[in-house]
Chain A
Amino acid sequence: MGTDKTDTTNLSRREFLKEAGIVVGGVAIASVAFSSACGTGETTTSTAVNTPLVTQPAATEPATSSTAATTTTSPAVTTATGTTSTAPITQPAGSTTPVTTAGNPVNSNLLDIPGCSTKVAADRLYSIDNIWVKNLGNNVVQLGLSDQAQYLADMIRVCSLSPIGTTLQIEQGFGAIEADKMSFDLITPVSGKITARNASLTALPVPINEDSYGSGWMVNVTISKPSELDLLVSPAYYVWLMAGKIGTAPPKR
């Protein structure tokens, strides 16, 4: 922004970012919004090291609709062998944390962000609005807030989530979190219908800070447009974004 000489009038945001050289592979990138955790020396409160792939929500609201998928009451039960992430899991350059591969459960599936204390879960995709998207299969995805975003929000006091049955359109809000002085809209990267919600977060949002990739999960969505998953970025790419590496060669998406 500001360095491109192209006439940027009448361009969509996506085109604008492409002209600015920060769109790769058709995916618009939100740039360095949340690279601020890097280099601060502060430790994230997220218990990142051994986040298991199998997650069990503390309290889940069952779907009331008779058409709800069977995954609604146990939305987060996945196993390492059965991971359905759409992103191939590869060893990202520079990472010192072992990465899981299908059929090979490991102690950690978290990627380091160079110079940062926060982590990126390797078994899911990410949106430019810092929402992670975990594919649970059968057109159901789970959404939550990335470790980076929770760190930058600081202590989250309030979490509100749209109710089960809410129809979402991509890039609309599905809730909000509130820290001491800022509230943040949670932006859905997918269209669909909410089929499960982590109700415990509304009473006690602490898991968002302490276990953003596990018990801090937020909603499950039965997606209506699977092609929207193509707009998400891989864990390695998200690491690259969070490390503020725009201007250098990005990893393969």
Chain B
Amino acid sequence: MPACLVCHLGLVSFPEAMEFEHDLIKLRFEEKIGDVLLLCEHPPTITLGRSGNIANILLPREELLSRGIAYFESDRAGDATFNCPGQLVVHPIMDLRNRKGLLRGYVTDLEETVIRVLAGFNITAARWTEHHGIWVNEKQISAIGLRVNRSISMHGFSLNVNPDLADFSAINLCGLAGKSATSIEYELGRAVPVMDVIPKIEDSFSDIFQTDLKSISKRGLADICLDSNSSRIMAQCKN
């Protein structure tokens, strides 16, 4: 199976994650690197998608600041989303030219990745035709929003593992008024560490996308971004 690098960035700010993504997208498009799967958590952050409605951010800027919630505009699809510790954010940087099943199926496969992870915790989750994301009993447990630039995908999906759900009331989730969030921990009624979920995401992604995941450290990935012409990179990333 083709290889894909997987990197756990840990807790990183949204701008830092975006910087990684943009560097990797350029390298991916130039085929100096293979597909990459980034996993991270963000500090409390609200992002607004390209066509998002600012009115879906329910707190004034001053209150966001006082609560330590950062705000950024994003170039992904979708409306307002909330990221915070305890929520895994997964960014596949994939060259969609290599996917025979294609662009439409790509979103479906990402959703399926999440659904299978949740099934592994005996949580029944599903897509909701009218609304973005993955839902459990009409509560959103995962949001999805992507951007495709020259056939390279970026952004991805989030999965609520054990975040403080009260903070999600700062926005209308994905622009949907009156909808609330849930998490794996809330649904199971017990503590679930993020580290327990990461391997399940990797396994599910690997299986659905038929790819072998090869771990790389954040430092290693940063070196790749700095040194894109290294023959070491091609040896590491070649399919």
Are chains A and B native binding partners rather than an unrelated pairing?
yes
Segment of A51-59, A83-91, A175-183 engaged in the interface with chain B: A175-183
User: Which of chain A's residues 136-189 have a Cβ closer than 8 Å to chain B?
Assistant: 152-154, 157-158, 160, 171, 173, 176, 178-185, 187
Q: Which of A7, A10, A160 has the most CB of B within 10 A?
A: A10
B29 cross-chain contacts in A, Cβ below 8 A: 13
CA distance A179 to B107 in the complex (A): 11
Assess the B77–A181 pair: CB atoms within 8 A.
Answer: yes
CA distance A187 to B77 in the complex (A): 17
Interface check B2, CB cutoff 8 A: yes
Assess the A183–B146 pair: CB atoms within 8 A.
Answer: yes
Report the interface size for chain A: residues with CB under 8 A from the other chain: 37
Assess the B101–A33 pair: CB atoms within 8 A.
Answer: no
User: Which of chain B's residues 69-107 have a Cβ closer than 8 Å to chain A?
Assistant: 75-78, 96-105, 107
Given contacts A10-B229, A13-B31, A31-B97, contact A181 B144 (CB under 8 A): yes
Instruction: Tell me, rounded to whole Å, the shortest Cβ–Cβ distance linking B32 to chain A.
Output: 8
A16 cross-chain contacts in B, Cβ below 8 A: 30-31
Given contacts A1-B31, A10-B229, contact A32 B103 (CB under 8 A): no
B145 cross-chain contacts in A, Cβ below 8 A: 181-182
Assess the A30–B151 pair: CB atoms within 8 A.
Answer: yes
Given contacts A13-B31, A35-B102, contact A185 B150 (CB under 8 A): yes
Interface check B137, CB cutoff 8 A: no
Interface check B179, CB cutoff 8 A: no
Interface check B200, CB cutoff 8 A: no
- B98-142 CB contact bits vs A (8 Å, 1 = yes)? 111111110100000000000000000000000010000000000
User: Which of chain A's residues 115-132 have a Cβ closer than 8 Å to chain B?
Assistant: 129
Given contacts A180-B77, A181-B146, A183-B50, contact A36 B102 (CB under 8 A): yes
Assess the A183–B49 pair: CB atoms within 8 A.
Answer: yes
Interface check A9, CB cutoff 8 A: yes
Instruction: Tell me, rounded to whole Å, the shortest Cβ–Cβ distance linking B124 to chain A.
Output: 21
Interface check B210, CB cutoff 8 A: no
Segment of B4-12, B14-22, B165-173, B231-239 engaged in the interface with chain A: B231-239
A-B contact pairs, 12 of them (CB 8 A): A8-B31, A8-B234, A13-B29, A31-B97, A33-B151, A158-B50, A158-B51, A182-B103, A182-B147, A183-B75, A184-B147, A187-B150
Interface on A for B, CB 8 Å cutoff?
Answer: 1-2, 7-10, 12-13, 16-17, 30-36, 129, 152-154, 157-158, 160, 171, 173, 176, 178-185, 187, 244
